[in-house]
Amino acid sequence: MQTRRSETRLLRCGKYRLPLGKKTLLMGIINMTPDSFSHDGLLGDLPAAVARAKTLVAEGADLLDIGGESARAGFPPRRSEEEIARILPLIRALREEVEVPLSVDTYKSQVAEAALEAGASMINDISGLRVDPKLAEVAARYRAALVVMHIRGRPKERQIAPRYQALLPEICAFLQESIQMALRAGVLPDQIVVDPGIDFGKTTAQSLEVLKRLAELKNLGFPLLLAPSRKTVIGEVLQVPVEDRLEGTAAVVAYGVTQGVDILRVHEVKAMRRVVRMVEAILQGEEYGRSGQGG
């Protein structure tokens, strides 16, 4: 079992510098949509969204990820202008309310630029720069962090029984190409994060294999983000609906910590922060007591 590295490095997010290596960071999710798969969309209720954001930070969120378009397959894509109108009021409001980096969940450069101009400092691109390569140029210009995710096909396309010749090597090759695209556009190495994209263009068995082999993705040499919260793979393994996947999410979060995942994107920050703290204490073992953290 892999334990966390003892050394730390910094992730550059605009004016923020997030330490990685000793502590697993949590990214809280805020969906400004009416059609989120997890039924937590807050579109049209700015006060509730601001309150939700402040609660997530109080519960231990190190970042907030704000999305204006659901990634659900089969749902029509939204125009950039509509996506911008959904997220900008919240980003502007949160600039004065929270002191954590704000991430924009989008694969469109126009949306990303508007969000960064409004105060965001990270772009979370589920297309791995395949839909809109200009997105990397926007990240470089604003010195924003950039998450590149692996996906088979395009966002919102329904994948039926996707096939891979070699699952992990193909994912790593895709992410390597995304990294090179970002670097060529001027994104700095300490601004890049990779995400294996469980559920995106992957069957349940394939997503489980990715989770089993998470440590191999660390060989890419970049921070690793994992987004397991309420995912289909959990629902299919446990045979539970989306609103009943807390324990399954916690199990994946705990395993992710043991494999050196740097950032976990979750809905239930309070519960997952406790899971992370407990697993990290176990990994520290006797060092936990010597550090003065133990009772």
Q: What is the pLDDT along the chain (295 residues), one digit of tens a residue?
A: 444 555 689 999 999 999 998 899 999 999 998 755 445 556 678 999 999 999 999 999 999 999 999 776 666 677 899 999 999 999 999 998 999 999 999 999 999 999 999 999 999 999 999 999 999 999 999 999 999 999 998 886 777 789 999 999 999 999 999 999 999 999 999 999 999 999 999 999 999 999 999 999 999 999 999 999 999 999 999 999 999 999 999 999 999 999 999 999 999 999 999 999 999 999 999 777 666 565 4
Residue 1 pLDDT: 45
Residues with a catalytic annotation lie at 231, 265
Helices 134-142 and 109-118, interaxial angle, to 10°?
10
Q: What CATH topology corresponds to 21-285?
A: TIM Barrel (3.20.20)
d(CA 63, CA 18): 9
Helix spans in the chain (H):
46-58, 80-95, 109-118, 134-142, 167-184, 204-212, 214-217, 232-238, 246-258, 269-284, 286-290
Residue 156 pLDDT: 60
Distances (CA, A) of 231 to 72, 133, 136, 164: 11, 27, 27, 21
The full set of domain ranges for the chain reads 21-285
Distances (CA, A) of 129 to 26, 155, 236: 23, 11, 29
Length of the chain: 295
Query: Which amino acid, one-letter code, is at 46?
Result: L
Residue 295 pLDDT: 43
In b/e form, how buried is each residue of 254-290, taking b as 16+ CB within 10 angstroms? ebbbbbbbbbbbbbbbebbbebbeebbeebbeeeeee
Residue 75 pLDDT: 64
With CA atoms as reference, report the closest residue to 35 among 66, 7, 72, 4. 72
Residue 293 pLDDT: 62
